[in-house]
């Protein structure tokens, strides 16, 4: 297995993002359209939070089995992104190693790490990215 490979080699660079002015209905639509589970919340190029699909499910009381159904927007209108997103997020530098990313994700209760360069969001790496990388090694 290759050692010291930077996380930038496996991260997603075309990141779907939200900002604080976006509505939760937009977030839900992005999760479903792109088949993703985590969306960074940004102010310009700076990451200020992370919204997960689980965060939406927590407030919506929705049954995740019915992915094709829209959740009633009345529930979403009761909250804004800043109330639902995780604010104290852990990030990783694009030159950090894949091993470092794996160690962080293995020790925490989340499954996505925003990747930064000089304090700006440049990508995201998920547990799925790590698994795919490991599969390529065998």
Q: What is the mean pLDDT of the chain?
A: 89
pLDDT tens, residue by residue, 9-41: 999 999 999 999 999 999 999 999 999 999 999
Q: Which of 50, 36, 40, 45 is nearest to 127 (CA)?
A: 36
Domain map (residue ranges) of the chain: 7-137
**Whether pTM exceeds 0.95:** no
The CATH label, of 1.20.120.10, 3.10.580.10, 3.20.20.450, 4.10.410.60, for the domain at 7-137 is 3.10.580.10
């Amino acid at each position: 297995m290759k050692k010291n490979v930077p996380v930038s080699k496996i991260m997603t660079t075309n990141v779907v993002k939200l900002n604080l002015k976006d509505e939760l209905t937009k977030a839900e639509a992005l999760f479903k359209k792109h088949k993703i589970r985590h969306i960074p919340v940004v102010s310009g190029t700076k990451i200020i939070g992370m919204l997960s699909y689980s965060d939406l499910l927590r407030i919506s009381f929705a049954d995740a089995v019915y992915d094709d159904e829209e959740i009633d927007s009345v529930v979403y209108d009761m909250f804004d992104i800043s109330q639902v997103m995780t604010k104290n997020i852990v990030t990783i530098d694009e030159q950090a190693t894949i091993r470092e990313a794996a160690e962080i994700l293995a020790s925490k209760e989340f499954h996505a790490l925003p990747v930064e360069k000089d304090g700006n969001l440049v990508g995201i790496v998920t547990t799925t990215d790590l698994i795919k990388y490991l599969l390529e090694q065998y």
